[in-house]
Chain A
Amino acid sequence: MNTRSISFRLVAWYAGLLAGIFLLLCAVLYLDLRHFLENDLRESQFRRARQIANTLLAHVKQTGEAAVASQTKDWYEPEINDRFIRITRTDGTLVYVSEAPKDGSFDPAEVPLFPPAPRPEFSRKLKLSGGNTLLIAALNFKSSGNPDYVVEFGALLDPVETMLNHVFLQLALGLPLAVVIITVGGYLLVQRSLKPVEQITRAAERITQHNLSERLPVSHNGDELERLSISLNRMITRLDDAFQNSKRFVADASHELRTPLTILRGELENIAEDPRFDSELRNRAGSLLEEAEHLSRIVEQLFTLSRLDAGEAQTEWARFDLSELAKTTADQMGLLAEDKGIAMVCDANQPILVEGDRARLKQVVVNLLDNAIKYTRANGKIQLRVHGVNGHAVLEVEDNGIGIPRDALPHIFERFYRVDQTRADGSESAGLGLSIVKSICTAHGADVEVQSAVGNGSCFRVKLPLSKG
């Protein structure tokens, strides 16, 4: 699981916060309940102690202590009700003490005498040897004309403890369960609300310059993601417009440039071929014609590039043997290499089937070979290899020519880039050949890379997906 994803962080925060709040609430609830139950028990003991004091001890003079003891026993039946009742005089001598309850939960004899107390009423908790706890409310009874007594009324705290334990157990089990339910629920909820994000991401990845007319899915539920996808779609529309504009610009420029070039060439051709003009003039017109043709070629190459950018390479898609293409092309260009005294070796014996626009891919081979011939000295060697590696067709053009300087390597596929800016090599190329190679490769989903060292030569490698058929 990706711990940096929004869904993970959101759910983690949410579950953590809720767990904290729940824990706090449960603690407050538990402590409050405990306080309330103990208080309630203590209050009821005090009430009964006061009852004994006010109804029986108030008349002890008339009735006598023995009557008080028997009355108390009759009224409260402490042995049956699991109560502890003791009435003592202030000197510590007993007037009455209840007997041990029938279930033997405690022994009244164990309860130590009431220590001298400063206050008229107070309570204490007493841990007994049997493991039970007794809550005892004590009352100092004073009244004019009567002797002072201490009335103690006690009850077992254990039912309260049992109940509190039960509540504690419920909370201890319920809390983690609640947190688990909340986490799972929250995760599902977040996943559901983030699902459009996933869809938008996938749709956005599909959109390239070739399908800019496509748009991202819009959820239409008025949420933030709807706004996001609408904004992104507007951005794509603006990109699409800009792209269409530049394409239209190239189409317009194509027309605008071709017409004057036609005129230029036509007029020059007329002069160059008209025998009425003297040979010097015709020669100069011919020289200009060469330049006009050069200009036409650059214009054509630029249009080729812009058409490739616009994704027009897919017009004549077919399956063919790359080895056969390499061999015939090498054969057609053999004389160019031979003319410079360069040995050209073609190693393409295995049929390697690929899919693509054959004429365009041939252009790749032609441009790479032309490049190699141009930058290899006499008696050099050019190797053209085609082979299949790991589901890819690889075409390599390796020469032992002058090589490419290290700082020029990243730029050689850029338009109009020339390693030798001075054009000292005497070539009339405009520096578009390798850009065209790159664009054709891109349109075919192929990679082109180069390795080179000055003085040792260069190796261009085109990696193309093999035909799946």
Chain B
Amino acid sequence: MRILLVEDEKKVADIILRGLKAERFAVDVYHDGQSAWEAANTYNYDLIILDLMLPRLSGTEILEKVRRKNQQVPILILTARDGMADKIKNFETGADDYLTKPFAFAELLLRIKALLRRGPVNRSSVLRVGDLEIDRLSQNVRRAGKKIELTAKEYSLLEYLATHPGRVFSRTMIIEHVWDQSFQGLTNIVDVYVRHLREKVDDAFSVKLLRTVRGVGYSLDDGTQT
């Protein structure tokens, strides 16, 4: 998989580059709009990550040019501008996703994988992490065959973490998916719910599935995932 990364801020580009390489992507990095457009025009990329404020040619202009030529390639906008008008304009021009800085790399990766439709996207109705079973149809949760009673929010949280076992989800991502934007200011809501979830899911077992990564977030992991 080959990704074109267009980001004028060298340090930001560097962080993304390292992260993506660790995930075994081939990445080309350009720091200005003109050479990025030339690269996009020359090679067939599987995905383009585009910053909006670029020297010589703006991200929106590149977006227009690429879309005129190639309708297929998924484009993810990465920007510090988060005005509603900006978002709508770029979606209309043909962007597939939009991520505002500052972001958690884990979230960028999840979005990239969703756009590439690869990675462990489990479509089956039952999610399994170790001996934990989550039935998405009946919303029943069992661990080692024993039924666990969860509230609606606890279930949504567990199900979200189980979609990518081993992957660390930031509090921001969890809030956005399980609650909504309004709860962004109070991150301790995630901590409280994870603690309650842990009491029900992990306390009675020797293998702990819910893992805390300090400063980063939480993951559901039975130790077999990388």
Contact = CB atoms under 8 A, between A and B. Distances in A.
A38 interface: no
Given A332-B153, A362-B182, A259 B12 contact: yes
B25 interface: no
Interface stretch (A17-25, A280-288, A375-383): A280-288
A315 B84 contact: yes
A255 B182 contact: no
Interface residues on A, range: 35 or more
Interface string B75-109: 00000111110000000000000001111111000
B118 to A, nearest CB: 21
A335 B200 CA distance: 14
A162 B171 CA distance: 107
A312 B81 CA distance: 15
A268 B214 CA distance: 11
A444 to B, nearest CB: 15
B215 interface: yes
A286 B168 CA distance: 13
Contact of A301 (B80, B172, B180, B185): B185
Nearest to A315: B84
Contacts of A290: 214-215
Nearest to A436: B185
Given A259-B9, A286-B215, A336 B105 contact: no
A223 interface: no
Most chain B beta carbons < 10 A, residue from A254, A258, A270, A333 = A258
Interface in A402-435: 429, 432-433
Contacts of B12: 259, 262-263, 266
Contact of A366 (B105, B171, B182): B182
B127 interface: no
Interface in A75-93: none
Interface in B1-29: 9, 11-12, 15-16, 18-19
B126 interface: no
Interface string A253-283: 0110011011111111110110000000011
Given A272-B215, A293-B172, 12 more contacts: A259-B9, A262-B15, A262-B102, A286-B213, A332-B179, A335-B192, A339-B192, A359-B181, A363-B181, A365-B182, A366-B182, A432-B185
17 contacts: A254-B82, A262-B15, A263-B12, A265-B102, A266-B16, A270-B19, A282-B214, A293-B215, A297-B187, A332-B153, A333-B189, A339-B196, A359-B181, A366-B182, A366-B183, A370-B186, A432-B185
